[in-house]
Homo-oligomer: A and B are copies of this chain.
Amino acid sequence: MNHFYKFESKEIGQELLELATLYKANPTLHSSKGKGKRIGCIFLNPSLRTRVSTQIAAQQLGMEAIVLNMDKEGWALEMKDGALMNGSTVEHIKDAAGVLGSYFDILALRAFPTLTQKEEDISDFVFHQFVNYSGIPVISLESAIRHPLQSLADQLTIQELAQKEKKPKVVLTWGPHIKAIPHAVANSFAEWTLGMGHDLTICHPEGYELDPIFTPGALITTNQEEALEKADFVYVKNWSSYKDYGKILTTDSTWMLTEAHLKNAPQAKIMHCLPVRRNVEISDELLDGPRSLVQQQALNRIFAAQAVLSKLLP
């Protein structure tokens, strides 16, 4: 594993889950493993959990973390090779990534999709430009199409809660939202859940099919009621249309998850990556009730990041 931006294999997934479990029990177990090493965390977009959990994970391994809000503190980046830079971009990613690659031991990058340039987004263009030009290991802090640290934390949460004797029923259900939202969390959740060998049911309104490369083997339906039946884990997430790229096709509030939706799923725990639009995606009663795992997921972000950093350190 040279970089961390996607699901690699069940073996690596299990290894990372074991490491994360270890660090959750003993955060300072390897507190000098990263001594003298530096991680640069580059944000092209806002962040709360990702920003803080990555810094904490680095500190717990003894690394120095430097955060750079490139959009606000640095220079507007040109992403296209060969560009004649007489517009609003001030620095080419080639130069910036090269410099950062010489300053740090590991880089981490958050770069959201455009949601207007489909080809560019699905090639995960910005992330790969950073990888290409930095020359050092790069961790995705959410790219155009994946959010793998979130997914690793989510798998850790499922593993912590799943009953040993029974294969859990995992459901990913679309929830309404007022803005056009990236596919990254949904894609990654599907990719990791399936990759780790779980059954996965995905439900969404018509026209919201995810890119099929992330969902091989999933049961996909537009019938939310059937999908939720006897669910053990219900992951709620909005995403915009992939087919009609970046568009909002519906905000149908009947898709908002409430206690009533789970009448046939008495054991169901609910999950969300946060930030969540309360009473739009999920009702308060669920988020504040005993079914909610959202805080546990958020806490697990620290140990997911720590496991990945630990594995990438020489």
Q: Which residues of A are at the interface with B, using a C-beta cutoff of 8 A?
A: 28, 36, 38, 40, 43, 46-49, 51-53, 55-56, 59, 64, 66, 68-70, 72-75, 78, 81-86, 90-92, 94-96, 98-100, 102-103, 178, 274-280, 284, 287-288, 294-295, 298-299, 302
Give the chain B neighbours of A53 by CB distance below 8 A: 103
Residue of B48, B288, B302 touching A91 (CB-CB under 8 A): B48
Given A74-B46, A95-B275, A278-B85, does the pair A38, B56 have CB atoms closer than 8 Å?
A: yes
A28 and B38: CB pair below 8 A? no
Whether B75 contacts A46 by the Cβ 8 Å rule is yes
Complex contact B73–A66 (CB within 8 A): no
Q: Pick the residue among B66, B82, B84, B276 that contacts A52 (CB under 8 A).
A: B66
Interface residue from B48, B82, B86, B90 paired with A284 (Cβ < 8 Å) = B82
For the complex of A and B, list the 10 residue pairs with the smallest distance between their C-beta atoms, beginning with the closest.
A91-B275, A48-B74, A85-B277, A84-B279, A99-B298, A102-B299, A85-B278, A86-B178, A75-B275, A90-B275
Q: Is B66 in contact with A274, judged by CB distance below 8 angstroms?
A: no
Apart from A52-B100, A85-B280, A95-B276, what 10 extra A-B contacts exist at CB < 8 Å? Answer: A38-B59, A46-B74, A47-B73, A48-B96, A52-B103, A78-B278, A84-B279, A95-B275, A95-B295, A103-B302
Find chain B residues with CB under 8 A from A277 CB.
85-86, 90
* Residue of chain B at shortest CB distance from A28: B36
Task: State whether A280 touches B84 (Cβ < 8 A).
Answer: yes
Residues of B within 8 A of A90 (CB): 275, 277
Contact A74 B86 (CB under 8 A): no
In the complex, how many angstroms separate the beta carbon of A199 from the nearest chain B beta carbon? 29
28 contacts between A and B (CB under 8 A): A28-B36, A38-B59, A46-B75, A47-B73, A48-B74, A48-B91, A48-B99, A51-B68, A52-B68, A53-B103, A55-B66, A59-B64, A69-B72, A69-B73, A84-B278, A84-B279, A85-B278, A85-B279, A85-B280, A86-B178, A90-B277, A92-B275, A92-B276, A95-B274, A99-B274, A99-B299, A102-B299, A103-B299
